[in-house]
Structure 1
C-alpha cells in the first residue's frame, strides 16, 4: 500500500532544501533527508523527484509572501497601504531568508507561476488605487511604478538578508526610497512621508 503524503514531512523537506541551498551545501537525496526521519522515497512521494522539490521550494516562498500580503489591512490612506505591502514583503524575507533567496532562483520552474505573479499584481493594484484617489499624478503607469518600487525594495531587502546591511537600516532606507519614488510620481512630500513612516512605525 502506497504511503500517504504527510504535509509536515513535505514542509520539513522544503525548509531543509532551502536552508541547504542558502548555505551552499550539496543537496543530494541522502543529504536532504539525513537526520529528518524521512526516507529518500519521501522526495518522490511529495515532489516526484528533485526537480519537483526545487519547484516546491520556490513556490513556497511565494505562497508565504501571498499570505503576508493578504494580511495587510485596507485603510483610508492608499499610500500608507502601498507602503505597508513593502513592509510585509520585508518581514516575509527576514522571517524566511532561505525561502526568500530561493524564490528568485529561476533555474527551477514554478509549479504555479500565476499565483507567484499575483503577489506583484497586489502592488500594481495598490499603485493604481493611490493614483485613482488623487495621491499620484493621473498619468502614472501603475505597472511601471510598481516595478520601480519593487526593484528598489527588493534590492534593499536582499542586502539585509545577505548580511551586507544591518537590519536596523532597512526601515529608514526603505522609507526614504518610497518617499522619493512616490513624490516623484506626484504625492505631496510631507503627506507622503507621514503615510510611509506610519506603515513602518510598528517596527
Structure 2
C-alpha cells in the first residue's frame, strides 16, 4: 500500500506532468527532480504521494484507465443497445484524444522508463471493458447482434477503435480519409460485422453521435477536495470485487 498523500491536489498534477514528459521526451526525462520542478513542488512529493518513481509510473497507468472508466460510467443505458455500444466507442476515442499523454503510457506507446506492467496492472485495465461486454450482451439479446460470445465482440470493438485512435494520434489519418470520416464509417461497419442490419446500424450510430456531448459534460474534472482523482471511478485491482 502506498503512503498516505499529504497533499491530494499534488498527486494528480504529478501524474499529468510525468505522463506528458514521458510521452514528449522519453524515459530520460523522468526524474523526481524534473517532475517536482515542473510541478513547483519538492522531490519529496513524489515519494510522499507514490512511494517512489515506480509507484508514480504505475499510477499513470491506473489514472489513465480511471479517466476512461469515468467516461464509460456516464454512458446511459437506453432501449437502443447498439447506439449505446457505439457511444462507448465515441467515449473511448474522446478520452484518448483528451488525454493523449496518459493514453500512450496505458498501452505501452511510451517506454515506461524501465518499469514493466504486471499481469495485475493489465487486468486492471481490462476491467474497464466489462461494461462494454454487458452492452454487447444486450445487443445479442435484443437480436441486433448475432448470437455469439459477447466478450469476443467487445474485444473486437476495442482492438478496432484502439487501432484507429493510435493512427489518429500519430497524424496518419488525413483528408480525404480523415479521422472523423473513417471513425463514423468504422462504427457502422463494426455494428454490421457483429450482425446488425446496415440500415438499423446506420440509424443507431447516428443517434449516438449527439449523446457524446452529454457524457463529456457529466464527467467530473480532476477533483480539488481531499480525494485523489485516481480514486474516483477507478476499476478495482485484480482480486477486488467489482461493484
TM-score over 0.5 for the pair: yes
Q: 1:79 aligns with which of 79, 82, 93?
A: 82
Alignment correspondent of 2:135? 126
Name the SS for the 2:182 alignment partner.
helix
Matched, 1:10 2:11: yes
Name the SS for the 2:79 alignment partner.
coil
Q: 2:150 aligns with which of 111, 117, 142?
A: 142
Q: Distance in 2 between matches of 1:54 and 1:166?
A: 33
Question: For the structure 1 residues 52 and 23, does the alpha-carbon distance in structure 2 shift closer, same or farther, using more than 3 Å as the test?
Answer: same
Listed as ranges, the matches of 1:104-119 within 5 Å are 104-105=107-108, 107-109=116-118, 114-119=123-128
Q: Deviations over 1:160-180 (max 9, x none)?
A: 122222599333322222222
Listed as ranges, the matches of 1:58-77 within 5 Å are 58-77=61-80
Alignment correspondent of 1:175? 184
Check the 8 A contact 2:87/2:211 in 1, yes or no.
no
Task: Give structure 2 stretches of 5+ with no counterpart.
Answer: 213-243
Matched, 1:163 2:140: no
Q: Distance in 1 between matches of 2:105 and 2:118?
A: 11
Q: Deviations over 1:38-70 (max 9, x none)?
A: 111111101111110000000000000000000
Larger RCO: Structure 1 or Structure 2 (Cα < 8 Å, ≥ 6 residues apart)? 2
Q: 1:189 aligns with which of 195, 198, 208?
A: 198
Q: Distance in 2 between matches of 1:73 and 1:3?
A: 34
Q: Which moved more, 1:111-120 or 1:10-19?
A: 111-120
Shift in Å, 1:112: 6.0
